[in-house]
Amino acid sequence: MKKSKNSFSYSSKAAYLFLAPAVTSILIFFFIPVMASFVMSFTDFDIYALGSIDMVRFIGFSNYVQLFGDPLFWQSLQNTMYYVVLASPLSIAVALGAAILLNSKLIKYKGFFRLSYFIPYITTLVAVAIVWRFIYHPKFGILNYFLSLIGINPIDWLGDPATAMPAIVLMSVWKTFGYNMIIFLAGLQNIPEDLYEAASLEGANEWQKFKAITIPMLSPTTLFVSIITIVGFFQLFAEPYIMTQGGPLNKTLSIVGYMYQEGFRWWNMGYSASISFVLFFIIMIITVLQFKLQKSHLA
């Protein structure tokens, strides 16, 4: 008895020792900065404060109050919502579709397709965004060229306030669905084959099998994929930063983009920190909601 207790404490010590580097680095590089920026969000920390710390004022909730009256913040929130609502279902649907196609026994050269669909995901975003800027060019872009073949007049994709965000959505869906597809593919391969066989024996058609077997069996995967996708899409930044700089008419300014501008362009760190915490709470609420929804759906 005594001996086993000893060995337990010894092994737990070893475990803590192994954990220590990871825990310390998370503490130093994650929790402390997060706490610091939380405190900062209640101050007016800015360029003057960098010069001398006594130029910092604690201003309570003023940043948050100002934020809720800031039309640019609402604009950026609206843009981000628009982007998430449009891009997430699209990305998930395209990923699921591609995964089902790739999982089909009729497809040849699966490795090739899997790789080609996955390549956009691992390509540097900056390079991709620059290439897509050319694709969207109103005069020389290949997209407008194809549209002209079916008689559609050239569209100034990134220059028109109405089409700029959809254009970015299209690009992000193309860029990200490969990753989701791989996860769906793994989920699909985990569904036991005999379920489908049994359904076939009962005379179910493909659509019924999809609805009654594939969808429910995939639901944990779908939950994971949708959380990852939505959380990722809420952090929209690099695409508009490179392609439109938030324009035209701020129609592609995202929350993270606005946060970056305020914080690292104009050094309004306090205000910027408050934006990031509002974003944090939005993402948290949506994640919790998703879990709840999924649970009630399963029950």
Partner 1 sequence: MKGPRIKLFPVYFIILLILTSSGCGDKKDSATRLKFWAMGTEAEFVTKLVPEFQRRNPGIKVDVQQIPWNAAQEKLVTAFASDNTPDICQLGNTWIAQFASLNAIISLDKYIADSPSINKENYFTGVWDTNIIDSLVYGIPWYIDTRLMFYRTDVFKEAGYDEPPRSWEELYDLCKKIKALHRGEDKYAIYLPTNEWNPFIMFALENNASLLKENNSRGNFDSKEFKEAFRYLTNFHKEKLAPLGISQVTNVYQAFVEEYFSIYISGPWNINEFKKWMTDDLAGKWSTAPMPSKNGDHYPGVSLAGGSSLVIFNNCKHIQEAWKFIEFLSETSTQLEFYHLLYNLPAVKKAWEDTSLANNKYMKAFRLQFENVVATPKVPEWEQIAFAKVQQYAELVVRGAMTVDEAAKNLDKDVDKILEKRRWLLSRKK
Footprint of partner 1 (CB under 8 A): 17, 44, 46-48, 50-52, 55, 57, 66, 133-134, 136-139, 156-161, 244-245, 247-250, 261, 264-267
Sequence-distant (6+) residues with CB within 8 A of 93 are: none
If the CB atoms of residues 53 and 106 are measured against partner 1, the closer one turns out to be 53
Decide: 176 and 229 in contact? Cβ < 8 Å: yes
CA distance 207 to 213: 10
CA distance 127 to 132: 9
Strands (E), the chain: none
For the CB of residue 50, give the shortest distance to partner 1 in the complex, in Å: 5
If the CB atoms of residues 46 and 239 are measured against partner 1, the closer one turns out to be 46
CA distance 176 to 170: 10
CA distance 273 to 168: 26
For the CB of residue 277, give the shortest distance to partner 1 in the complex, in Å: 20
Decide: 199 and 287 in contact? Cβ < 8 Å: no
For the CB of residue 138, give the shortest distance to partner 1 in the complex, in Å: 6
For the CB of residue 83, give the shortest distance to partner 1 in the complex, in Å: 19
For the CB of residue 60, give the shortest distance to partner 1 in the complex, in Å: 15
Give me the residues paired with residue 43 across strands.
Answer: 58
- CA distances for 35 relative to 17, 18, 257, 266, 277, angstroms: 25, 25, 22, 22, 11
Q: How is residue 198 written in tokens? A: 């049994």
If the CB atoms of residues 177 and 258 are measured against partner 1, the closer one turns out to be 258
Amino acid at 182: I
For the CB of residue 247, give the shortest distance to partner 1 in the complex, in Å: 7
If the CB atoms of residues 26 and 285 are measured against partner 1, the closer one turns out to be 26
Residues 13/16/21/24 CA torsion (nearest 10 deg): -120
Peptide bond into 240 cis (omega under 30): no
If the CB atoms of residues 26 and 93 are measured against partner 1, the closer one turns out to be 26
If the CB atoms of residues 232 and 248 are measured against partner 1, the closer one turns out to be 248
If the CB atoms of residues 120 and 141 are measured against partner 1, the closer one turns out to be 141
- For residue 190, which phi and psi values (nearest 5 degrees)? -85, -10
Decide: 194 and 49 in contact? Cβ < 8 Å: no
For the CB of residue 97, give the shortest distance to partner 1 in the complex, in Å: 31
If the CB atoms of residues 1 and 53 are measured against partner 1, the closer one turns out to be 53
Rg (CA), the chain: 24
For the CB of residue 156, give the shortest distance to partner 1 in the complex, in Å: 6
